[in-house]
Amino acid sequence: MILSYFLELLYPAKCVFCGSLLAKEETEICSLCRKELPYCEKKVKQVSFSRSTTAVFYYENQVR
Q: Tell me the per-residue pLDDT of 22-41, one tens digit each, with 9 for 90 and over.
A: 998 898 999 999 999 888 87
Q: Kindly report whether the global pTM for this prediction surpasses the value 0.85.
A: no
Contact 15, 63 (CB under 8 A): no
Please tell me the predicted confidence (pLDDT) of residue 64: 85
Choice between 11 and 42, residue whose per-residue pLDDT is larger: 11
Residues in the chain: 64
User: How many CA within 13 A on the CB side of residue 29?
Assistant: 11
Percent of residues, the chain, with pLDDT higher than 70: 95
CA 35 to chain centre: 11
Residue 51: predicted pLDDT = 75
